Amino acid sequence: MISEKLREDFPILEKHKDIIYFDNACTTLKPKQVIEAEMRYYTEYGGCAGRSAHRLSKLVSEKVEEGRGKIASFVGAKPENIVYTKNCSEALNLVAKTFDFSKRKKVVGTILEHHSSMLPFEIKALNKEIELVYAKPMPDGTFDLSVYNELIDRNTALVAVHHTNNTLGTKNPVAEIAKIAHDNGAQIIVDAAQGVPHSEINFRKMDADYLTFSGHKMLGPTGIGALVAKYEHLDRMPPFIVGGDTIEQVKTDSVVWAKPPRKFEAGIQHYAGIIGLGEAAEYLKRVGLKNIEQHERELAKIAMDGLSDVQNMRIYGPKDVSKRTGIFTFNARGVTPHQVAIMLDKMKGIAVRSGVFCAQPGMEHIGACDGAVRASFYLYNTKKEVETFTETVKQIVQLG
């Protein structure tokens, strides 16, 4: 059970009392605890980490490593598994760009991937550096393991799949897919941008090789995310972006790289973001990921119960809410997705996303070539807000 009192932690909800924020799959609102933690970097710590000998630098170094520890514990990993990145996209690119495809060239993705986990591999496939194949979902948008068993073989180098889908809110059986990958001598990267903020994730238990996510989708700051990876992979991988603090020694004719994760964190980092992200992880832990997941499912059920029988409306993904999280994607016949989004905003201040959600091939695959409307719920949303949403959607559908 999540108390509505928690809404008081979010200054935006206080400032915009008339807004119903359902664009959480895009980015989430920030609680004051995160904003204050971020501010503390600028007002109390200053300085840069890992370089200078003065006390402020030492303080920032401590805070950066403290943040790494909090983030690691949040996803069931160790601090040395965590590489700070700008966002989930950068973490996905880091792996795609540094992965050793010299022995095996096949990558298995899914047609429902976000562009951030599809394009880094698609570019390589277009350049004929790798072979890329896409697993297709069942009609309700969920994936059966048989499709992975069919596609993943002894030629597969890497499996690159989502944890939770950003258009349908469905979850992929990632631990089972990891086992299939490993049984075939392949590795697996899990795009958990929509998973880490909403479900309990344990990197170790999942046995993924790499896992990626963004801070801003989990109450944290923008501009900070993470790659979580098995240390032996990080140790072998070449650096991605190079520069200050990635090295042990540089001569004009040789370089000795630093140990991971430092090897991958070139230049001055987003310290305020790191500290804020650590606080966001702690905040979510306090509320409890199981509570958050249950709350979102209850909200999704209200939307599904209220709208699944409405004529001239198409809801994407499984009708059974136990198979999905708090993402609710739909279209209304005769009204474009952008028109629906504008009307929701104008009529009741409901903020949703419209378009193809950076997943164009996936949207085409599910028959939403011209896009759709996506409402995505989070811990601060209320049943009353979802009821207002369903009533407003019904009125809009009647206009079509």
Ligand X SMILES: Cc1ncc(COP(=O)(O)O)c(C=O)c1O
By the criterion CB under 6 A, which residues form the site for ligand X?
A: 87-89, 114, 116-117, 162, 166, 191, 193-194, 214, 358
> Residue 376 pairs with which residues in a beta bridge?
23, 327
HSE of 189, CA atoms in CB hemisphere, 13 A: 34
Pick between residue 71 and residue 193 the one whose CB is nearest to ligand X.
193
- Other Cβ atoms closer than 10 A to 151: 18
Minimal CA–CA distance to 160: which of 136, 140, 181, 183? Answer: 181
Pick between residue 354 and residue 392 the one whose CB is nearest to ligand X.
354
- The CA distance from 351 to 355, in Å, is 13
Pick between residue 335 and residue 358 the one whose CB is nearest to ligand X.
358
Residue 275's alpha-carbon distances to 31, 42, 270, in angstroms, are 14, 11, 9
- Shortest spacing between CB 27 and ligand X, in angstroms: 8
- Shortest spacing between CB 219 and ligand X, in angstroms: 13
- Shortest spacing between CB 193 and ligand X, in angstroms: 4
Pick between residue 61 and residue 117 the one whose CB is nearest to ligand X.
117
Pick between residue 94 and residue 397 the one whose CB is nearest to ligand X.
94
- Shortest spacing between CB 360 and ligand X, in angstroms: 13
Question: Edge-to-edge, what's the strand order for the sheet holding 106-110?
Answer: 82-85, 225-229, 210-214, 187-191, 156-162, 106-110, 131-135
Pick between residue 28 and residue 184 the one whose CB is nearest to ligand X.
28
- Shortest spacing between CB 159 and ligand X, in angstroms: 15
Minimal CA–CA distance to 218: which of 322, 292, 118? Answer: 292
Whether 358 sits among the annotated catalytic residues: the reply is yes
Name every residue whose Cβ is closer than 8 Å to that of residue 247 and which is 6 or more positions away in sequence.
Answer: 255, 256, 257, 258
- The CA distance from 197 to 201, in Å, is 9
Given 26, 88, 358, 369, which residue is catalytic? 358
DSSP per-residue string spanning 171-217: B--HHHHHHHHHHTT-EEEEE-TTTTTTS---HHHHT-SEEEEESGG
- Shortest spacing between CB 86 and ligand X, in angstroms: 8
- Cα dihedral 15, 17, 18, 24, rounded to 10, equals 80
Pick between residue 9 and residue 191 the one whose CB is nearest to ligand X.
191
Cis peptide before 173 (omega within 30 of 0): no
- The CA distance from 194 to 170, in Å, is 10
Pick between residue 104 and residue 217 the one whose CB is nearest to ligand X.
217
Instruction: Please check whether residue 132 is in contact with residue 125, taking contact to mean a CB–CB distance below 8 angstroms.
Output: yes
- Shortest spacing between CB 314 and ligand X, in angstroms: 21
- Residue-wise burial string across 122-136, b where 16 or more C-beta atoms lie within 10 A, e elsewhere: bebbeeeebbbebbe
> Residue 354 pairs with which residues in a beta bridge?
373
- Shortest spacing between CB 225 and ligand X, in angstroms: 6
Task: Give the chain's length.
Answer: 400
- The CA distance from 269 to 223, in Å, is 10
- Residue-wise burial string across 223-241, b where 16 or more C-beta atoms lie within 10 A, e elsewhere: bbbbbbbbeebbeebebbe
Return the active site residues.
358
